[in-house]
Amino acid sequence: MGSFLFDFFAIFTVICAVGTVVNKNAVNAAMCFLLCLVGVAGLFVQLDAYLLAFLLLLVYAGAVVALFLFIIMLLDVQGKSAVSFRRLSTAAAVIAAGLLAVGLCSFAIHGHLDAPNPNYASGVGAALKPYAYQLFTLYLLPVQIMGFLLLIAMLGVIVLSKKIDPAEGAK
Amino acid sequence: MDIASLQTLAANNDWLAIMPELLLGCLALALLVLEIILPAKLHSRLPAVALLGVLALLVFQLLGFTAGFAEQESFNGLLVHSREGQVMRVFFLLAALLVGVISTISLAKQKLPHTEFYHILLVVTAAMMLLVQSNHFVMLFVALETVTIGLYILVSYFRSRPLTLEAGLKYLIMGALSSSILLFGIVLLYGVAGNPELPGHTASAMNLDSLHAFLAANRHNFLASIGIVLVLSGVAFKIAAFPFQIWVPDVYQGAPTPVTAFLAVASKGAGFLVLLVLARTFSPYAWLLAPVLTLMAGATLLFGSLGALTQHNVKRLMGLSGVSHAGFLLMGVVAAGTQSMAIGAIYFYLFAYLLASFAVFGVMALVAGPDDADQEISHYAGLAKDSPFLALVLAIGLGSLAGIPPLAGFMGKLFIFIAAFKAGLYGLLAVAIVGVVISSYYYFSWIRAAFFSSGTSSDGEATARPARTPVSFTAGLVLSLLAFGTVLLGLYQGVLGQWLNTR
């Protein structure tokens, strides 16, 4: 049963990922990306990482892809202008694909991933409660810094997008 | 996880140990609050509040305010307050202070909000101070992201200029790419170190000490070496080392002059400190680190020197010459693998670079016109006649950057060269000497423009250049202190030199 579910979600994820890349319509590509994320979330559930699966659905599928769709509709991008490949970019793509193939081959030969030890306990991030405990004890300082990060990001958005008022600036 | 162990974890969060950073954060928040509650006519005083606050913190830090925590861990090993960290706190506070002073000159020429600039500057400085003391990948990444996101905003701050926007966009994309490479490397290392099949595996591989122990137990793990190379590449973007230096000229040109100075000095200093910490963590993989870093150092030196030769825009020139300085520092990092005195040499070089660079950037901010990206070498023609003081400061700064004895930059290069010689890096030394020779050419062509060019072309017509800005008292004082410090540090190394020798 577990093996069937894994195969199902793995194939589903890969098909959707390919669909994201080859789809000429931006909205359809974004929808494929959404389904791809659902597939990854399914894989996480099988690893008992329920929190990660739900965070993926909430943050990426819920917020980020919605933002993508919003921007796509705002810009009104249509799939009509297919980019024709120039010689240079084709060469670059071939080199990149070659590097990827070499990387995968060397990984298959040198790197080895053994089956996980069943006795090995799941990580602290697997469920919400221990995760939250860690966040507010061990990682309290990084959480506080993230607060400052969000503050300066917000200020940055305001400063960089506010309309310049010449009368106010001249003071 | 039981309550008692959580209580121990929480009790280890020693907020007093990061007092300077906390106060800096509070100062940044206070600026925003003051802008809301104070009447509009007092807003022009807010930069002075920020600068005085940073100055007070600098004095406290120099008086040994947090000395009680030296060589201790806090926040459950997230931070280690090494002696180097204390020195770098002074470095970043000094850099923030100088950037603040230059900003008062540059921002006066633009119609933009001021308070937010200082707020972001202070937050970024605090994040840099935490970054160099972090001993844990989570802490390191969060601090690094705070620095980078703050810099995205600062780089594109003069947003009405197309070049600035281009710089901001390029820096955003390259920064995001480098962060993702770094993160990918961290995840690989974490995954490998957590593999229960391997000897010495650890559940807390994010902690650099645990990771070091794991790497020492597995000296030839293939995945770990990929992770190490990726992490180093991510950091190489931040210090602008070859082949990750491609963003430098455009971003340095488009960014406001004080931000360019901040990028060139503080951001690079933070990058090198992180690199030193990581090199120490990855030391069991010296077979991989030494050749990679050596190649990187040589290529960075040559690229920076040769690239700067053809530049006419002084900001691009400073950017590319900064790349070659990164090469000298990288040579120090390679030497630090075997010679501990190289670490002291890197610190000395960073301080000499700080003094000289800010002297030059201060003059640049004063000479620049309203278009901050348009600063050509030809604008400096006749500077010695119009303002002998600025020309002298410029000459001292550039001389120090070029490494002319007896200025501080010469001593910095000398220390690095001695360390490299002791470490037996003869090939790299030869490249570095070629780099010094080439760099003196472009630095001197700038000095020549300031001193020996009259500012008129051959047919007697004056070349177009921005009007000279009068030098305010504060700017004059700061610039003379910087020039004086550069000369003094070249003749007498004092406390810094002692600290260097005790290593």
pLDDT in tens, B354-382: 999 999 999 998 888 777 778 888 888 88
pLDDT bracket for residue B330 (50, 70, 90): very high
Cβ–Cβ gap B157/A159 under 8 Å: yes
Q: What is the 3-state secondary structure (H, E, C) of B334-402?
A: HHHCCCCHHHHHHHHHHHHHHHHHHHHHHHHHHHCCCCCCCCEHHHHCCHHHHCHHHHHHHHHHHHHHH
Measured in angstroms, the CA of A125 and the nearest CA of chain B are apart by 12
**Residue B168 to residue B189: CA distance in whole angstroms:** 31
More confident residue, B229 or B242: B229
CA torsion sign for A123, A129, A130, A134 is: positive
User: The tokens of B484 are what?
Assistant: 């004086």
Cβ–Cβ gap B222/A158 under 8 Å: no
Instruction: For residue B180, count other CB atoms closer than 10 A to its CB.
Output: 12
Cβ–Cβ gap A145/B76 under 8 Å: no
* For residue B389, pLDDT beyond 80: yes
| Mean pLDDT for the stretch of residues B195-221 | 87
Class of A1-81 in CATH: mainly alpha
What is residue B404's predicted lDDT score, i.e. its pLDDT? Answer: 87
CB-nearest to A140 from B13, B40, B130 is B13
Cβ–Cβ gap A142/B76 under 8 Å: no
Measured in angstroms, the CA of B157 and the nearest CA of chain A are apart by 7
Asked if B276 and B336 touch (Cβ cutoff 8 Å), the reply is yes
What is residue B328's predicted lDDT score, i.e. its pLDDT? Answer: 93
Residues of chain A in contact with residue B78, where contact means CB-CB under 8 angstroms, are: 138-139, 141-142
In angstroms, the Cα distances linking B369 to A99, B168, B258, B373, B454 are 47, 21, 14, 9, 19
Measured in angstroms, the CA of A156 and the nearest CA of chain B are apart by 6
Give the closest residue to A127 by CA, choosing from A58, A59, A54, A62. A54
Distance of CA B131 to the CA centre of its chain: 12
What is residue A81's predicted lDDT score, i.e. its pLDDT? Answer: 57
Cβ–Cβ gap A140/B75 under 8 Å: yes
Tell me, yes or no, if B130 comes closer than 8 A to chain A by beta carbon: yes
Cβ–Cβ gap B160/A164 under 8 Å: yes
B433 beta partners:
none
Asked if B503 and B344 touch (Cβ cutoff 8 Å), the reply is yes
Provide the mean pLDDT of chain B.
87
- Count CB pairs under 8 A between chains A and B: 93
Range with lowest mean pLDDT among B78-92, B202-216, B448-462: B448-462
A residues 99-118 near B, CB within 8 Å? 110-111, 114, 116-117
Instruction: Tell me which DSSP letter residue B471 carries.
Output: P
**Residue B134 to residue B147: CA distance in whole angstroms:** 14
| Mean pLDDT for the stretch of residues B145-166 | 90
Tell me, yes or no, if B460 comes closer than 8 A to chain A by beta carbon: no
Measured in angstroms, the CA of B172 and the nearest CA of chain A are apart by 13
**Residue A68 to residue A73: CA distance in whole angstroms:** 9
**Residue B416 to residue B342: CA distance in whole angstroms:** 6
Asked if B431 and B302 touch (Cβ cutoff 8 Å), the reply is yes
pLDDT bracket for residue B28 (50, 70, 90): very high
- Provide the terminal-to-terminal Cα distance of chain B, rounded to the nearest Å: 42
| Mean pLDDT for the stretch of residues B26-30 | 94
pLDDT bracket for residue B331 (50, 70, 90): very high
| Mean pLDDT for the stretch of residues A89-97 | 88
Cβ–Cβ gap A152/B123 under 8 Å: yes
**Residue B393 to residue B419: CA distance in whole angstroms:** 30
Give the closest residue to B232 by CA, choosing from B174, B175, B190, B186. B186
* For residue B459, pLDDT beyond 60: no
**Residue B28 to residue B33: CA distance in whole angstroms:** 9
Measured in angstroms, the CA of A39 and the nearest CA of chain B are apart by 21
Tell me, yes or no, if A167 comes closer than 8 A to chain B by beta carbon: no
Tell me, yes or no, if B125 comes closer than 8 A to chain A by beta carbon: no
Cβ–Cβ gap B138/A158 under 8 Å: no
Determine the residue of chain A that is closest to B110 in CA distance.
A169
Using one digit for the tens of pLDDT, what is the confidence trace for A109-164? Answer: 877 666 655 555 555 556 778 788 888 888 889 999 999 999 999 999 888 888 76
User: To the nearest whole percent, how much of chain B has pLDDT over 70?
Assistant: 96
H or E segment at B168? helix B162-193
Highest mean pLDDT among B62-71, B349-358, B449-458: B349-358
Instruction: For residue B216, count other CB atoms closer than 10 A to its CB.
Output: 12
- Whether the complex's predicted ipTM is more than 0.95 is answered with no
Tell me, yes or no, if B1 comes closer than 8 A to chain A by beta carbon: yes
Determine the residue of chain A that is closest to B43 in CA distance.
A171
Task: Indicate left, alpha or beta for A48 from its phi (over 0: left) and psi (-120 to 50: alpha).
Answer: left
Measured in angstroms, the CA of A95 and the nearest CA of chain B are apart by 17
Kindly compute the dihedral angle of the four CA atoms of residues A118, A121, A127, A129, in this order, to the nearest 10 degrees.
Answer: 160
